C-alpha cells in the first residue's frame, strides 16, 4: 500500500487525508495542533456567541472516524531533494511515496503588530479578542478599530471578510447591550476600496452597511505600523483606538521559505493546475501543495478560501490515485475558482458570490445568520462522516 504523508490539519490537510484513506492509501497526518479549527465560525468567539470548543474538532476524533495515522508534532524542515520531512521532536520521516503540504500561510509582520490581535491568526487570539472586548464593555465606552492589510507580492493572500464580519457582530453585541452609542467603531484598510474583489455590487452594499450601522471608514492610506495608541499611517496620522483588531495579509509559510520547494515572490508553493509541484524539468514530482500554502493562479480577484482548499485536496487524492493506476485524467482547481461566502453580521448575513461570469451579493436578514450557524454544524458532522458531504460545501 502506497504511503502518503500529509502535513497540516486544516481544511486542506484533513480533506486530503480523509479522501486518500477512503481510497485505501496508508495515510499519516502531521499537525502541530490537536484540533482542526473551523476558522469561518470563529468570528463568534469574541462576542460570546460561540464557545471556543465549538469551533474546534479534535483530530483524534477524525482519526477514529476515518482511520488515518495521526502525529502531533511541528514540521521544522522539508527537503524535496532528500525526500525528507524533519519534525520539531527531532524525528525525521522519509519513507513516504507522496507528500502533501497543507500547512496554511504565515502572516506579514508589520511594525508594532504585537499591539493588535487578529481573528485570522493563532486560534487562541479569538479568546484574547473576547477578553479585550469584555474589558471595554465593562468600562462601558471606548474606541474599537478593525481592519486588514495587503501583500503587494500576492493579492490572493489578502483576507478582509472576517474583519467586516467581526465588526458587524461587535456592533450588534453592543446594540443588544444598549451601549452601542458609547462606542466609536472604525473599519480601516490601506486600499481605497476594500472588498472590491467581491465585485461592484458588494462594494456598494458594504458602504450602505457602514453608513447604516454608524461605522466610520478609514480607507486608502498606507499603514506604517501600530503602537499602543493605535494604527499609524504614512501621512503621520494615527487612528487612535482602545483596541485594534488587525488581519495581516498572508505570506509564504516560514518552513516553505527555508525549504527547496519552488515558490512565488510571496513564498507560496508553486504548483501546476493539478496542485503538483513540478520538478525543474517540468515532470511531476511526488509532492503536492494544497490550500492556503499554495500559490493560487488565475483571476485578479482570486482569493484563498476554505472551499478552494477542499477542492484542491479532493483533486489531489484523485490525481495520486490516477497516477498509481496509470491514468492521466487529472483534475485541476482553476475551473473551480470563485469567491463564495456568507458574510455574517450577527443578526443576518449577506451571500457573496463571484466567478468568471458573475459577481453579486444579496442580503439575507436573520436566515443568513442561521444558515452560517448551520454550516458550522454541517462542517463538523460531515467531516466526521456522520452526515453526507454536499458537493461544493
User: Contact residues for ligand FAD (CB under 6 A)?
Assistant: 7-13, 30-33, 39-40, 42-43, 74-75, 102-104, 119-120, 162, 255, 291-293, 304-307, 309, 341
Please give the biggest Cα pair distance in the chain. 66
Of 69 and 240, nearer to ligand FAD (C-beta) is: 69
Closest approach of ligand FAD to the CB of residue 71, in Å: 9
Q: Which residues contact 79 (CB under 8 A, 6 or more apart)?
A: 85, 86, 259, 260
Residue indicated by cell numbers 525525521: 92
Q: How many CB atoms are closer than 10 A to CB 310? A: 23
Rounded to the nearest whole angstrom, what is the least distance from the CB of residue 290 to ligand FAD in the complex? Answer: 7
Distance of alpha carbon 390 from alpha carbon 393, whole angstroms: 6
Closer to ligand FAD by CB, 259 or 319: give it: 259
Q: Which residues partner with 3 through β-bridges?
A: 26
Asked if 87 contacts 76 with a C-beta cutoff of 8 angstroms, the reply is yes
Surface-to-core class of residue 378, CB atoms within 10 Å of its CB (0-12 exposed, 13-18 middle, 19+ buried)? middle
From CA 11, how far away is CA 17, in angstroms rounded?
10
Least separation, in Å, of the C-beta of 113 and ligand FAD?
A: 16
In the complex with ligand FAD, the residue whose CB is nearer, 320 or 350, is 350
Residue nearer to ligand FAD on the CB measure, 161 or 230: 161
Q: Which is nearer to ligand FAD, 219 or 351 (CB)?
A: 351
Residue whose C-alpha is closest to residue 330's, from 308, 314, 349: 314
In angstroms, what is the minimal distance from the CB of 237 to ligand FAD?
28
Residue nearest to ligand FAD (CB): 10
Which CB, 233 or 268, lies closer to ligand FAD?
268
Shortest spacing between CB 214 and ligand FAD, in angstroms: 24
Cβ-based nearer residue to ligand FAD, 13 or 230: 13
When computed from its CA atoms, the radius of gyration of the chain, rounded to whole angstroms, is 21
Give me the least distance between CB of 346 and ligand FAD, in Å please.
Answer: 14
Of 221 and 369, the one with the shorter C-beta distance to ligand FAD is 369
Q: Dihedral of CA 202/206/208/212: which sign?
A: positive
Q: Which is nearer to ligand FAD, 18 or 255 (CB)?
A: 255
Hey, how many other C-beta atoms are within 10 angstroms of the C-beta on 76? Answer: 16
Residue 100 Cα distances to 34, 103, 288, 316, 334, angstroms: 19, 9, 5, 8, 19
CA distances from 370 to 256, 365, 376 (A): 38, 9, 10
Task: Output the smallest distance, CB 174 to ligand FAD, in A.
Answer: 20
Give the total residue count for the chain.
393
DSSP helix/strand/coil, 112: coil
Query: Tell me, what DSSP letter sits at residue 148?
Result: E
CB of 294 to ligand FAD, least distance (A): 8
Shortest Å, Cβ 14 to ligand FAD: 7
Amino acid at each position: 500500500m502506497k504511503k502518503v504523508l500529509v502535513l497540516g490539519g486544516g481544511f486542506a490537510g484533513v480533506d486530503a487525508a480523509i479522501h486518500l484513506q477512503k481510497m485505501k492509501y496508508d495515510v499519516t497526518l502531521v499537525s502541530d495542533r490537536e484540533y482542526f479549527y473551523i476558522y469561518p465560525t470563529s468570528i463568534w468567539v469574541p462576542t460570546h456567541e460561540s464557545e471556543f470548543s465549538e469551533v474546534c474538532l479534535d483530530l483524534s476524533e477524525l482519526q477514529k472516524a476515518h482511520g488515518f495515522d495521526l502525529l502531533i508534532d511541528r514540521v521544522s524542515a522539508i527537503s524535496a531533494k532528500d525526500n525528507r520531512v524533519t519534525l520539531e521532536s527531532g524525528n525525521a520521516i522519509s519513507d513516504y511515496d507522496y507528500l502533501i503540504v497543507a500547512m496554511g500561510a504565515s502572516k506579514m509582520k508589520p511594525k508594532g503588530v504585537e499591539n493588535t490581535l487578529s481573528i485570522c491568526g493563532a486560534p487562541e487570539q479569538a479568546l484574547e479578542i473576547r477578553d479585550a472586548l469584555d474589558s471595554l464593555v465593562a468600562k462601558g465606552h471606548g474606541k474599537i478599530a478593525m481592519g486588514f492589510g495587503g501583500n503587494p507580492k500576492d493579492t490572493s493572500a489578502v483576507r478582509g471578510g472576517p474583519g467586516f464580519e467581526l465588526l458587524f457582530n461587535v456592533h450588534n453585541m453592543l446594540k443588544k447591550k444598549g451601549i452601542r452609542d458609547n462606542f466609536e467603531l472604525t473599519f480601516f484598510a490601506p486600499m481605497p476600496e476594500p472588498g472590491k474583489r467581491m465585485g461592484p455590487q458588494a462594494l456598494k452594499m458594504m458602504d450602505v452597511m457602514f453608513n447604516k450601522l454608524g461605522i466610520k471608514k478609514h480607507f486608502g492610506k498606507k499603514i506604517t505600523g501600530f503602537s499602543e495608541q493605535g494604527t499609524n499611517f504614512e501621512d503621520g496620522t494615527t487612528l487612535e483606538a482602545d483596541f485594534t483588531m488587525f488581519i495581516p495579509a498572508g505570506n509564504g509559510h516560514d518552513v516553505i521559505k527555508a525549504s527547496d520547494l519552488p515558490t512565488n515572490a510571496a513564498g507560496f508553493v508553486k504548483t501546476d493546475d493539478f496542485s503538483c509541484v513540478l520538478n525543474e524539468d517540468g515532470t511531476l514530482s511526488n509532492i503536492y501543495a494544497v490550500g492556503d500554502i499554495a500559490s493560487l493562479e488565475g483571476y485578479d480577484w482570486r482569493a484563498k478560501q476554505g472551499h478552494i482548499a477542499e477542492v484542491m485536496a479532493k483533486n489531489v487524492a484523485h490525481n495520486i490515485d490516477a497516477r498509481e493506476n496509470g491514468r492521466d485524467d487529472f483534475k485541476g482547481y482553476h475551473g473551480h475558482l470563485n469567491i463564495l461566502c456568507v458574510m455574517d453580521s450577527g443578526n443576518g448575513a449577506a451571500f457573496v458570490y463571484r466567478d468568471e461570469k458573475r459577481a453579486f451579493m444579496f442580503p439575507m436578514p436573520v436566515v443568513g445568520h442561521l444558515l452560517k450557524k448551520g454550516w458550522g454544524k454541517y462542517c463538523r458532522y460531515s467531516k466526521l462522516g456522520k452526515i453526507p458531504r454536499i458537493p461544493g460545501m
